[in-house]
Structure 1
Amino acid sequence: MASDAIYYPKLGGFMKLDEYGSWHRPMLLCAAVMAVMTAVSAVGLAVDDRLIAGAPAWHKPFKFAFSFGVYALSWAWLVSLLRTRKRLANALSTIVVTVILVEYAIITLQVVRGTRSHFNVSTPLDNTLYRIMGISIAVMWTGTLALTLFLLRTPITDAASRWAVRLGSVLSLAGLSLGALMLLPTAAQRESMSTSAFDGIVGAHSVGVPDGGPSMPITGWSTTGGDLRIPHFVGMHALQLLPLIVMALTLLARRWPLLRQDTVRGRLLIVAGLSYGGVLALVTWQALRGQPLLAPDSATLIASAVLVFATALGTGWALRSPSVPVAAPDDHRDAARLPVLDGAGR
């Protein structure tokens, strides 16, 4: 073996096609259904000119299909990494898939009916559907919490992959939890609940402005006030971004020898995860103050600068070369399972 040969743990590189067979099948099926519904919703956006709460009717099904699909695909893979409680984890994952499909079905049904799915208690049917969605979200959160706890106890040899999976799953759970902020009634809603002016809507995603106002393209996030969907989205998708950083470091390691060291890659993922958590806290704070994402005030800009500076310092710390080089695996059985790249990157 060449002296500069490097080992990449299973999670440090791209998954092989023959490894997909171990992924959680119902989650994969859910991801496939959501991929189809993303396309269907895109067609709906093109041919249906109706507006619901000021937004294109099929905008919400489109966004939810994409988000649920990415979520399901990620957990289909993560569940396959578990080494204990496999049967329980598979059962919980199947329950999560069921509630995802139920919630998405209600969202689509309400679009067909031409009314809002979220926050809508205006009629007995709307109230019942919204309550079912609330139960579905609670079950999804509980199932994700349990799966996250299982994942935190799963041994992963590669430091970068270990931190990416663990920090990503915790931040994803935090982002899912932040969705609860949208369920609280606004001051105007509380005042109108006991009067004839009550319009049957309880909760909102915008802060400081009514829902349905001017918004950003594609995301639909408010451009005139705070939007609680931003931290919800940012947090949930940490589970995709951090593993992508691991893959990027794996590719960069072919050219930069320093990144071939497990300790360095692990440190970089710690910095990336903590910085991502800082971004999540920042956009949550910004939204709660009724501030549009693209119109930060001086306090937000200062906090952003501090976060960038701290990330730069952390990156400098992470790139320090360890005093003792990381050796190749001692166990020949482990080494046989890991792909080897020589100095030419083959």
Structure 2
Amino acid sequence: MSEMPLPRAMGASLRATFWDEARGYQRLAYVVGAALVLTGLAHGAIWAVVGGPIEGPLSWRKPATFGLSFGLTTLTLGWIGGHLRVPAWSGWLVSVLLCVSTALEVVWVSVQRARGVPSHFNDMTALDGALFTAGGVTIAVTDIALLLITVAAFTACTAPAPMAWAIRGGMLALLAAQVVGMWMIVHGIGLLDAGASPLTHSMSTYGRAGAMKYAHAVPMHAIQVLPGLAWLMGFSRLSERARLVAMSAAIAGYASLFAVALGRTALGLEPFDLLSLSTLLYLVPALLLGAASVATAAGLRRRSGLG
């Protein structure tokens, strides 16, 4: 029997894993995740029409990025649930916790922007302070769900080794992103207590120019990059051993990217500064991630009969 053409094989895999073979709690995550992505896109459209700054607590960018980021993460974690051998009740429990908490987080940021007030570090009124506290509670619930998924990824993962380690690396990075988020909250509250205003002061700048949002965003989306790369490898002509080596390089590359981002932030440096020698450290993750990507592309090219 001839091998299925690559585009058709990829389409069949997406249909099967994302919906046809999905459990009910995975589909819940897909629906909620898609709704959050649409919310982010809607706020992006509003931003494009009405304009406004790209930074600051009242930028339309904030609800747009929250919707897109939380939506993509919820969708991805729903898909990962298909690779975990867990009882149905625990799958539903974690999915409900995740979906409710991520949805409330996006709704909170969106409502506050619609009211024309900052969402984070805002205690100017009793309502604003209560909503900020509630936002902290919802993200704590999200963290619990992420921790449970991470434990399952190490103890009950049924995926082939390259995908299993991609999922584990992505989940650990996602937890690291939450730790950076906690650092941001503590730092911002400290500035608030010192008399800074959430309307005029950047609560996420550390030192002279350290971009805490950057150090938070980099590890947060490893959960899309690493499993996505492993999924592509699965269609290549690479052996499982070669795929595992390539995935190990990708994980090391992403970890080093996070290390550089975190180090520059902690030192109060901008994410990118071409005049700084420390910027050359980005060559390490670039080489590792590049090698994994090139190996995957070469394997796919052979599968397509182009190599």
Check conservation: 1:226, 1:293, Cα contact below 8 A.
yes
- Partner SS state of residue 70, structure 1: helix
Where does residue 228 of structure 2 map in the other structure? Answer: 244
1:1-346 matched pairs, under 5 angstroms: 15-19=13-17, 20-21=19-20, 22-23=22-23, 24-49=26-51, 54=56, 57-156=59-158, 158-185=160-187, 189=191, 192-193=194-195, 198-199=196-197, 204-208=203-207, 225-253=209-237, 259=238, 261-295=239-273, 298-305=276-283, 311=288
Where does residue 9 of structure 1 map in the other structure? Answer: none
Check conservation: 1:28, 1:72, Cα contact below 8 A.
yes
Unpaired runs of 5+ residues, structure 2, are: 4-9, 297-301
Once the two structures are overlaid, the 10-residue window that deviates more, 287-296 or 231-240, is: 287-296
The alignment-based identity, stated in percent, is 23
Deviations 1:68-123 (A, max 9, x none): 11101101111122212331132122111111111111111111111110121222
Aligned residue identity for 1:72: T
Distance 1:299 1:269 in 2: 29
TM-score (norm 1): 0.73
Deviations 1:230-284 (A, max 9, x none): 121111111110122123334442xxxxx1x111111111121122111111101
Q: Of the two, which has the highest radius of gyration?
A: 1
Offset of 1:166 from its aligned partner? 1.4
Query: Once superposed, what is the RMSD of the aligned Cα atoms?
Result: 3.5
Aligned residue identity for 2:44: A
Check conservation: 1:175, 1:233, Cα contact below 8 A.
yes
Offset of 1:13 from its aligned partner? 9.3
Cα 1:155–1:186 change in 2 (3 A) is closer
Cα 1:190–1:250 change in 2 (3 A) is closer
- Partner SS state of residue 83, structure 2: coil
Offset of 1:304 from its aligned partner? 3.2
- Partner SS state of residue 13, structure 2: coil
Where does residue 256 of structure 1 map in the other structure? Answer: none
- Partner SS state of residue 204, structure 1: coil
Distance 1:149 1:13 in 2: 30
Distance 1:78 1:177 in 2: 22
Check conservation: 2:204, 2:213, Cα contact below 8 A.
yes
Count residues in correspondence. Answer: 291
Larger proportion of helix: 2
Check conservation: 2:273, 2:279, Cα contact below 8 A.
no
Check conservation: 2:162, 2:247, Cα contact below 8 A.
yes
- Partner SS state of residue 80, structure 1: helix
Unpaired runs of 5+ residues, structure 1, are: 6-11, 210-224, 254-258, 320-340
Distance 2:189 2:68 in 1: 32
Distance 1:289 1:43 in 2: 36
Distance 1:56 1:117 in 2: 9
Distance 1:148 1:203 in 2: 32
Aligned residue identity for 2:143: W
Distance 1:200 1:104 in 2: 19
Cα 1:302–1:92 change in 2 (3 A) is same
Check conservation: 2:206, 2:212, Cα contact below 8 A.
yes
Check conservation: 2:83, 2:159, Cα contact below 8 A.
no
Distance 1:343 1:207 in 2: 48
